[in-house]
Structure 1
């Protein structure tokens, strides 16, 4: 079946586009092409490509199966027509349930829905934002609920007195306006709350390394994989490192890098093992040197030089790297999205914190250090991981109780065999404290 697809500009060909999207007839499709290049600069190339990949099936479906009053829907139709097409796509292709509200739609995921629904809606919203910015779409964004913005504005400006504006907060006569992020999306997901994945397999990195060995990973792929597991970084934050990023840190085990949303600004650092340092330097001074235009070693390379290169001597990209990663995972039948290495790192770090800390204060301090290192925008993210360890701790305590019960059962059976033993009486221990915490007292009362 013919479908929308993309390709990169071949080496030696001059073009203002580094990536070009093609339609089902293999003709260049400029709207998606323009969208990709408009995104680059505002978000990372890997995120921009992820948006394009998420939208290709939708545009293919739009050409083949969309229907409005007997006609196919075009991407540049009015917002009302576009919304009808999106709603059909969500229900027929993504197995979602869509519920109509006054000015927007509630979207419920089902068990058959893919985990890309949220990304699809974000990508489509971004697509129309770009095309409006480029003056190629002549309507308002179909993915935005303009009434929600208007109603929110009214509720935040109208006071309790009829037809009067709100009093300033300093007056203290009206409730403060809640500080919350405005949800302006026309399609609102109501049963999807992101939760970080907890990956507790301590042997996972070594399974991945063996998978790479099986498909003959080069030293470059080995170093990147080790860095992902050891640093908790996103793949692009490792792949796009420069020689200067490595030189900028005092420790030879560290490198500066950008963060999601920092627009390339180096705002955090990565730390990796001494063994990985050895492999990294071996790669730079041997394998990398063979593919570089200038046969330079680490000491003579300029700061702006990328650490990782392709066999053609060009900067290594996420897309090129993912090919090697995916090949290894498929060969060894491991279902592992690269981003899960980040979750594995956090899980492993927390396990180490709990195992090596002696006090609650020490645990809290180390957790705060981890939050700063990983650069989470919302510090509450760590609470989900902590919940995992609370459950693990409970399981261990529960197993201990089972073992104790088994021992007590043995003692009871031995006692029962001995007819000459005196009858065992329950002993009541009188409380010697004058004041008991209310919660403890409530528990004791419940035992009577």
Structure 2
């Protein structure tokens, strides 16, 4: 299984039947790239597999750029060069490839995103920082991490340990003689994003799921891939929250249309549930008792399986991983030339749910109640996340109201012109007022008119 990018670097999964301590190998052309290979496996031990793979995919084009375009004192930059060279290369990459603006400060750099900057700048910096963290831990990089501002760490330590008295430790906070230690400090990153703000994507294309299903059919997806794709759009869950479902997660809910699952940051605790369609339930039960049963080492069906058994299996009968599933998703997208990250299904779900809320609710109270239900279902830590989606619908409501106003103006213009033609045939009649005291005038209206002068 090979995943190819428009770079010199690519990764290959370990072939079936081959024993290796690496489940994935990274190559540079025909040569293995052990630093990136070791990084992936070390990173996978600290974060989720999907995040480790995302970091690796972000680094592949950067390593290609280092080989072909980087320059430090007249030479190409190698990943193993000292921090000074690495920082220059990253700064050039941010400005020339990611179209960011970089401002120099005493010991660090401020990074400003522009309208042309991709929304992956933060991920890129995190990936490089994590890469050097792994290389230092594995003793393959003898210097300090180029992505860390060591001076910021030193200043932070000093500010938290030095008191107002010279060469004396800080007094206890309860004494009230020292300024309180700030609860937050500036990030220790050498490259600091100063205008980076996460923005959920608005995907208001109603037929997107069905387009994806058709692409899956053309790519010969199995029932497993089709069920996971349907769950992505129907539940709004992250791919890993679906892929790692167990039989017990499905049994844990009273409704046959629901399953318990973990959430990002819940450390495996099942803190939320997913709800999907009756058609997906039929497909899921059929998969468990047919395709999955054939792959199961004991050939057990739903009733025989223990709660700990994973719902989705690989062709070897092992628990399905994000990487194995993503290969099939990516294959369908590449074949159709459609650039669609599976996480966009989550944005599509929220956009569609909000549209439905606005369509069926009759009062503002109903809208707010249903939005609160959606927030609880999504398990958003920050309730303000929904405001970006609301802004989209507020703008859309303004467009609809504005269109109605324009239609009304057009009709009034037509009526005016029609009536004017009729009036031209009649001689205008003017009313002569001899004394203004004969007029009954609205004083409030007069104040308004005076204010417009």
Please, what TM-score do these two structures have when normalized by structure 2?
0.83
Larger mean Cα displacement after TM superposition, 253-262 or 108-117: 108-117
Match of 1:370 in 2: 374
User: In the alignment, does 2:144 pair up with 1:140?
Assistant: yes
Query: Which of 18, 21, 37 pairs up with 1:16?
Result: 21
Match of 2:434 in 1: none
Give the aligned length.
Answer: 437
Match of 2:437 in 1: none
* 1:200-279 equivalences in 2 (<5 Å): 200-279=204-283
CA distance in 2, matches of 1:361, 1:160: 54
Larger mean Cα displacement after TM superposition, 329-338 or 217-226: 329-338
Cα shift readout 1:388-426 (whole Å, capped 9, x = no counterpart): 1111111111122122223333333343314389779xx
Match of 1:346 in 2: 350
User: In the alignment, does 2:332 pair up with 1:328?
Assistant: yes
Query: Which of 289, 301, 325 pairs up with 1:285?
Result: 289
SS in 1 for 2:290: helix
Larger mean Cα displacement after TM superposition, 140-149 or 56-65: 56-65
CA distance in 2, matches of 1:172, 1:403: 66
Query: Which of 99, 111, 125 pairs up with 1:121?
Result: 125
- Tell me, which stretches of 5 or more residues in structure 1 are unaligned? 433-440
* 1:394-413 equivalences in 2 (<5 Å): 394-413=398-417
Match of 2:49 in 1: 45
Match of 2:203 in 1: 199
- Tell me, which stretches of 5 or more residues in structure 2 are unaligned? 1-5, 432-439
Over aligned residues, Cα RMSD in angstroms? 3.5
Match of 1:360 in 2: 364
1:91–1:98: 8 Å Cα contact kept in structure 2? yes
Match of 1:88 in 2: 92
User: In the alignment, does 2:300 pair up with 1:300?
Assistant: no
Larger mean Cα displacement after TM superposition, 150-159 or 387-396: 150-159
SS in 1 for 2:398: helix
Match of 1:184 in 2: 188
Match of 1:57 in 2: 61
Deviation at 1:197, TM superposition (A): 0.8
Query: Which of 382, 388, 395 pairs up with 2:392?
Result: 388
Match of 2:383 in 1: 379
CA distance in 1, matches of 2:450, 2:338: 53
